[in-house]
Amino acid sequence: MSPRRWAVTAAIERRPDVAARLRQAELDMDSPDSHVRDQAIRTAGDIVRAAHREVEGG
């Protein structure tokens, strides 16, 4: 794992509520309901982008 990827993972995991939301979104990506899958993709993307911004110092 690259240092940046590790930092992004750490930024997510140090917040248990955010990590739980990401894990739930990952599970929801397997839903048969396309609306649930779409929301899960948006949620996961939002969480990961926020972690990248945090790592970048923003």
What pLDDT is recorded for position 38?
A: 98
Q: How far apart are the first and last CA of the chain?
A: 22
Q: In the numeric block, which tokens belong to residue 44? A: 């996961």
What residues make up the domain containing 29?
A: 3-56
The Cα 39–Cα 25 span in angstroms is 8
The Cα 22–Cα 45 span in angstroms is 9
Q: What is the pLDDT of residues 3-26, one digit of tens each?
A: 999 999 999 999 999 999 999 999
Give me the number of domains the chain comprises: 1
pTM of the model: 0.90
